[in-house]
Amino acid sequence: MYSESSTIAAISTSMSEAGIGIVRISGEDAFQIADRIYRGKNNKRLSDQKSHTIHYGYIEENGETIDEVLVMLMRGPRTFTGEDTVEIDCHGGVYVLRRVLEACIHAGARPAQPGEFTKRAFLNGKMDLSQAEAVIDVIQSQNDYALKSSVSQLRGSVKKKIDDIRNKILYHTAFIESALDDPEHISIEGYAQVLERDVEELKGRLDSLLASADDGRVMKEGIKTVIVGKPNAGKSSILNMLLGEERAIVTDIAGTTRDILQEHMNLQGISLNIVDTAGIRKTDDRVEKIGVDRALSQAKEADLIIYVVDSSMPLDDNDRKIFQFITGKKAIILLNKSDLERRTGEEQIRQMCAERGMKDTPVISVSAKEEEGMEEMEHAVKELFYHGDLSFNSEVYITNARHKHELERAYGSLEKVLESIRMDMPEDFYSIDLMDAYESLGNITGETVGEDLVNEIFSKFCMGK
């Protein structure tokens, strides 16, 4: 449970490069928090201003200007949530919105929980009772999404790193606690030095996790882009071309990619989360079939589909099936193997698109082998994005902000442990902050503390009597 602040913040517009974006703060400290990051003319303080007014100024953090903004001030109860609310109109852009949100969090807000604004509005009597069920739906669906994004978007390696840190913290705490519980059997004389060394090291690990949180390496955030196509159309080669590295295994044997590969890339400021999939065809091979099913379900959730067609082969039933599948979705069609003799042409594809009401779908000839057509493809993605055709759920960024917030809290808790050690505080004070760090990190991986400590004490240390 969060305890330090009841003031929440979130990005409350969808994340696209188009238009403006809004960061919303709600809660009793909303105005004070805004004051900490806002600089207007004549050093005016937002908390001194009238309700329901708009103010021009800048959002700053550590002396650095993040964005030029309009700030809307609304005192409760005449607000959506019924609480004091500040809305910061930013110049859109994923990066800026994220920075502004983080500034709010550093200034004392905490990232909102899924559906929390709506929940507050309801609990504060700002919504009609008949809306209760709708509110519940918002909470559950946003929570489902957050859970999914929290767990599935957390990279496996990051989860492992966090788990490792947590395990170490738990071990140390359990040792201290077992000694406090059974001082006649277990001694912790001189343990402070051991702990200090280890906590320093753990702090370093958190530091590097925090650094990677900034460049999107923690969360697989961005536009979910799924590469689909028949077997051996060259999907993995396209992925490798985009990434500029050999990530996927490429052979000329159809069906090489039997499962899902995911990579993150930044395409001129646009964040793409690229998923390579198994080739889609009718198959009796059970393992391959699983891959095909997964590919289809990935494509269903995609923000953008890159459909790779082998231009050296004529279209067949499998292609028609894929076409059916991408109908109505944002897609880019790549005619791969332009270096080989052509059996399927751009015109033929455009014709098929037009028949399905997708005449704006870009169709581009590329050769993954010769690395040709890359620029056109990037251009097409950018066009879609800047026209606002592409956007994605901001919940991903909120989740990321939450994760970062928890990493920072854990880091802060470990600093307090070190401070207590240096201040020569008694050992029982170390465990308070150690367990805080443990809990914060658990919030990232979705694990609660429960009986962990007691279990660890009994499993690792021999108690008396």
Partner 1 sequence: MKFSANSVWENKDQYDVAVIGAGHAGCEAALACARLGFRTIVFTVSVDSIALMPCNPNIGGTSKGHLVREVDALGGEMGKVIDRTFIQSKMLNKSKGPAVHSLRAQADKAFYSRTMRQVLESQENLEIKQAEVVNILTEDVDGRKKVTGVQTYSGAVFRCQAVVLCTGTYLKARCIYGDVSTNTGPNGLQAANYLTECLKDLGVKMNRFKTGTPARIDRNTVDFSKMEEQKGDERIVPFSFTTDPESIQKDQVSCWLTYTNERTHEIIRKNLDRSPLFSGMIEGTGPRYCPSIEDKVVKFADKSRHQVFIEPEGLETNEMYIGGMSSSLPEDVQYEMYRSVPGLEHVKIVRNAYAIEYDCIDARQLRPTLEFRNIDGLFSGGQFNGSSGYEEAAAQGLLAGINAARKLQGKEGVILDRSEAYIGVLVDDLVTKESHEPYRMMTSRAEYRLLLRQDNADQRLTAKGYEIGLIDQERYERLLKKEKLIETEMERLKKTYVGTTEEVQKLLEENGSTPLTSGSNLAELVRRPELSYEILSPLDHNRPEFPNDLREEVQEQVNINIKYEGYISRQKKQVEQFKKMESKKIPENIDYDQVKSLRIEAVQKLKEYQPVSVGQASRISGVSPADISVLLVYMEQLKSNR
Q: Which is nearer to partner 1, 179 or 272 (CB)?
A: 179
- CA pair distance 103, 299, nearest whole angstrom: 35
Those residues whose C-beta lies under 8 Å from the C-beta of residue 231, and which sit 6 or more positions away, are 254, 255, 278, 279, 280, 281
Q: Which is nearer to partner 1, 249 or 449 (CB)?
A: 449
Those residues whose C-beta lies under 8 Å from the C-beta of residue 347, and which sit 6 or more positions away, are none
Provide the annotated binding site for Mg(2+): 236, 257
Those residues whose C-beta lies under 8 Å from the C-beta of residue 46, and which sit 6 or more positions away, are 31, 34, 35, 38, 40, 55, 71, 73, 86
Provide the annotated binding site for (6S)-5-formyl-5,6,7,8-tetrahydrofolate: 24, 87, 126, 465
User: How far apart are CB 451 and partner 1 at their closest, in Å?
Assistant: 7
- Asked whether 360 and 373 are in contact (CB, 8 A), the reply is no
User: How far apart are CB 177 and partner 1 at their closest, in Å?
Assistant: 4
User: How far apart are CB 346 and partner 1 at their closest, in Å?
Assistant: 48
Place of tokens 């009772």: 129
User: How far apart are CB 187 and partner 1 at their closest, in Å?
Assistant: 11
Report in angstroms the alpha-carbon separations of 71 from 92, 145, 289, 371, 406: 14, 29, 53, 47, 27
Instruction: Using CB under 8 A, list all residues that contact partner 1.
Output: 1-4, 113-116, 119, 122-123, 129, 132-133, 135-137, 139-140, 143, 177, 180-185, 423-429, 431-432, 448, 450-451, 453-454, 457-458, 462-465
- CA pair distance 110, 29, nearest whole angstrom: 11
Q: Which is nearer to partner 1, 64 or 189 (CB)?
A: 189
Q: Which is nearer to partner 1, 231 or 442 (CB)?
A: 442
Provide the annotated binding site: 24, 87, 126, 232-237, 251-257, 276-279, 465
User: How far apart are CB 151 and partner 1 at their closest, in Å?
Assistant: 13
ω before 111 within 30° of 0 (cis)? no
- Cα 77-80-85 angle, rounded to 5 deg: 70
Place of tokens 């409760």: 76
Which long-range contacts link 274-277 to residues 24+ away (Cβ below 8 Å)? 274/225, 274/226, 274/227, 274/239, 274/242, 274/243, 275/224, 275/225, 275/226, 275/227, 275/302, 276/227, 276/235, 276/236, 276/239, 276/248, 277/226, 277/227, 277/228, 277/235
- Asked whether 274 and 312 are in contact (CB, 8 A), the reply is no
Buried b (16+ CB within 10 A) or exposed e, 362-393: bbbbbbbeeeebbeebeebbbebbeeeebbbb
Place of tokens 């044997």: 253
User: How far apart are CB 138 and partner 1 at their closest, in Å?
Assistant: 10
Q: Which is nearer to partner 1, 133 or 284 (CB)?
A: 133
Q: Which is nearer to partner 1, 64 or 128 (CB)?
A: 128
Distance of CA 21 to the CA centre of its chain: 18
Supply φ then ψ for residue 335, to 5 degrees: -95, 100
User: How far apart are CB 306 and partner 1 at their closest, in Å?
Assistant: 34
What separation, in Å, do the N-terminal and C-terminal C-alpha atoms of the chain show?
35
Provide the annotated binding site for K(+): 232, 251, 253, 256
Q: Which is nearer to partner 1, 317 or 451 (CB)?
A: 451
Amino acid at position 418, single letter: L
User: How far apart are CB 396 and partner 1 at their closest, in Å?
Assistant: 18
Q: Which is nearer to partner 1, 259 or 419 (CB)?
A: 419
Report the DSSP beta bridge partners of residue 39: 58
User: How far apart are CB 399 and partner 1 at their closest, in Å?
Assistant: 14
Q: Which is nearer to partner 1, 184 or 347 (CB)?
A: 184
